[in-house]
Amino acid sequence: MASLYEKLGGKPAIETAVDKFYVKVLADDTVNHFFTETDMDKQREHQTKFLSYALGGPNQYSGTSMEKAHEGMNIKPEHFNAIAGHLNETLEELEVSEEDRDQVMEKIGALAPHIMHK
């Protein structure tokens, strides 16, 4: 059975999704302040590797843990939900099936305790 990574189209598709995702995130005043001091090229590359790994692709993710990466940010549920919503909307725009989107969102949702209130 193909991994979500393969079903979505591999690295090129993940890169496209990440680019579209960050356009939404950076336009959202609810969450864009988290990225004011962020090198977005580096962030996009990091996110592409992380999402690829999270969706069953090659494990090139060697970044810090979720807890460490979000330490001191005090991300609240409304922030997490806004980011997750932008990801879901991006996947929908890229015509990812509802079943596959649900799987992605389930994986992302499982990260909430490692990201929020850190």
Domain range spanning residue 107?
4-115
User: CA-CA distance, 82 to 80, in Å (whole number)?
Assistant: 5
Q: Are 30 and 36 in contact (CB under 8 A)?
A: no
Distance CA 27, CA 96 (A): 22
pLDDT tens sequence across 30-52: 999 999 999 999 999 989 988 88
How confident is the model at residue 38, as a pLDDT?
94
Distance CA 24, CA 20 (A): 7
What is the chain's mean pLDDT, rounded? Answer: 90
Q: In this structure, what DSSP letter does residue 32 have?
A: G
Is 70 annotated to bind ligand? yes
Does residue 109 or residue 62 have the better pLDDT? 109
pLDDT of amino acid 61: 64
List C-alpha distances in Å: 24 to 28, 42, 65, 109: 6, 17, 24, 19
pLDDT at 60 over 80: no
pLDDT in tens, 15-25: 999 999 999 99
List the CATH number of the domain containing 49: 1.10.490.10
Q: How many domains does the chain divide into? A: 1
114 annotated as belonging to a binding site for a ligand: no
Is residue 88 within 8 A of residue 45, CB to CB? The reply is no
Cα dihedral 106, 107, 109, 112 in deg (nearest 10): 170
